Chain A
Amino acid sequence: MTALLSIGGVTKRFGRVTAIDRLSLDIHENEFFALLGASGSGKTTLLRMLAGFETPEAGAILLDGKDISRMPPNRRPVNLMFQSYALFPHMSVEGNIAYGLEMERLAKPEIARRVGEIMEVTELSSMARRKPDQLSGGQKQRVALARALVKRPHLLLLDEPLGALDKKLRAAMQLELKRLQHEVGITFIVVTHDQEEALVMADRVAILRDGRLLQCGTPHEVYEHPANRFAADFIGVMNFIEEDGRTLALRPERIRLFPERADRTTEGRVTARAYHGLDLQLHVETPLSPRPLLVRLTADAADRRPVAEGDTVTLGWNDADTRIFKD
């Protein structure tokens, strides 16, 4: 795979705040790339530099090998779906979507055809003539998405595209985004706060912290081999056990109950149990750490050996499933 976008040593400061600090990152053709990071870590700033609304103080942004970091936003083959949608309130749904194609001076019938197509795909055809203030949150979002997609950009940037939606709509839109990506075949960079969303949707994820790249890799890599304690904590749920001046990190689903064979075992008392979907989650107090260990059992495993609050249990795991960090 060749790099479609290559970010090299980019730095952006706002007064005394360094929003992005010497960041380098390659993004491949047709990739679904997720940017993760706490609030204020520089995600929006990075996207705004890619779209052309901020100019980096240092570094280069290469798209297809050409440096675009000084190119004005209207000339870049990159589109941004805004965190606030930024729909034009005085134009209809159709008008909003057609706007970008009109800027390319395409012929009227061509514009009409492509707008019609994308409205089919995003299920907006029935509300073509409505104004943005007559749409629900989810509908507005689809208009914002359609408006960016219809331009067939090389690269589509989405700033928390699903941020404002309720859980159910979110799940539906996640599938829809994936489907659209396969259908239209463009490269996506998605900013999200929601690590689960990133794990579900992305081909690769990057974690930002204070404007720096902490780790970048496939969701599996980042989940199973977090580069450091922060990344481990940021993605998924993790148990931490401090011993001998180092930290042992262990995923809840890697802990087994009453194991027949295990590299390590410990005794503990169940202090809470609750179902998370089909999985059963237990809090177990052990001598190993001040905070209870989190244990996640599949429905099968839970049925095989029922436990109640207050029960004493034996926990076990294999060394291969733990990660060790020296802080």
Chain B
Amino acid sequence: MADRSPATRRSLAVLLAAVFAFLYIPIVTLVALSFNDGGLPTAWTGFSVKWYGTLLANRDILSAALNTLIVAVISTAIAAVLGTLLALGIETRRRRGRALEALVFAPMIIPDIVLAIALLSFFSLLKFPMGLHTIILSHVVFNLAFVSAVVRARLKSFDWSVTEASADLGAPAFTTFRRVTLPLILPAVIAGALLAFTLSVDEFIIAFFTAGAGRASTTLPMQIFAMIRFGVTPEINALATLVMIVSVTALTLSQRLNKGVIAP
């Protein structure tokens, strides 16, 4: 943009610093408190990892974490395959209807609560027993949309003549896919899958509505929600820190693999 006076420059920098402070102070506070020996936000009584210890001894949390992992891994795997095929299908079509675009875009913009109650009504009207499997089925819906969006963005700059070259050199369609197309779009597929994985790990509302009765299919966000309602505890701080480390790692990796996944 046009060059600015030093004064303008300085005030823009200050503004940006303030926004970043607003964004990161709450998170940093949480992380810091998770290492506070006394556990209370009232006083710093020394560095300790004991809350992480209590966390690991809590069976409920461990089983919720395991459930979350199961849901996230399976739904991401399904979404990675289906989303990639969807992206390829859409991008290799000569003509695309608006209805198709809307259909694949919808899961990303529908408010979670609406999708959640729609799925709940759907499953219960069908008398479909609910549990981890229904959470997985539901998570695939939005995971699939995100994977296909990331892969489609990659395909926009894809030089299709290499696939023609492959056919010309004698490769049948599937070999061309396996040896040429897939290796070239793989970074985008993995980036999309990592994004889907973090979304699934963090997703609360849809899981909450489609988990069915009973504690057996409680996921980590559901567990966190229940704990938060009881108030601030040092254990939640520790749990929150761990969950954030997982998401931030996956997101950073995703961004590295495919610039522009999270921010252009």
Contacts and interface: CB of A to CB of B under 8 A. Distances in A.
State yes or no: do A and B touch (Cβ within 8 Å).
Answer: yes
Nearest to B183: A90
Contacts of B164: 53, 73, 80, 82, 86
Interface string A62-106: 000000000011110011101010111110000000011001100
B168 interface: yes
Contacts, number: 61
Task: Say whether chain B's binding surface is mostly helix, strand, loop, or mixed.
Answer: helix
Given A88-B180, A89-B184, A90-B183, A99 B161 contact: no
Interface string B146-177: 00000000000001011011111111110100
Contacts of B162: 86-89
Nearest to B162: A86
B169 A147 contact: yes
A88 B171 contact: no
Interface of A: 51-53, 72-75, 78-80, 82, 84, 86-90, 99-100, 103-104, 147-148, 151
Interface size class on chain B is: 10 to 19
A69 to B, nearest CB: 16
Nearest to A80: B168
Interface of B: 159, 161-162, 164-173, 175, 179-180, 183-184
A84 B170 contact: no
B183 A51 contact: no
A73 B168 contact: yes
Scoring A52, A84, A103, A148 by chain B CB atoms within 10 A of each residue's CB, the highest score goes to A103
A75 B171 CA distance: 8
Nearest to B179: A99
B167 A79 contact: no
B169 A82 contact: no
A116 B171 CA distance: 21
Scoring A75, A86, A148 by chain B CB atoms within 10 A of each residue's CB, the highest score goes to A86
Nearest to A48: B164
Contacts of B171: 74, 99, 103
Given A89-B184, A90-B184, A103 B165 contact: no
Nearest to A100: B169
18 contacts: A72-B167, A73-B168, A74-B169, A74-B170, A74-B173, A78-B168, A86-B165, A87-B162, A88-B165, A89-B184, A99-B166, A99-B171, A103-B169, A103-B175, A147-B165, A148-B168, A151-B169, A151-B170
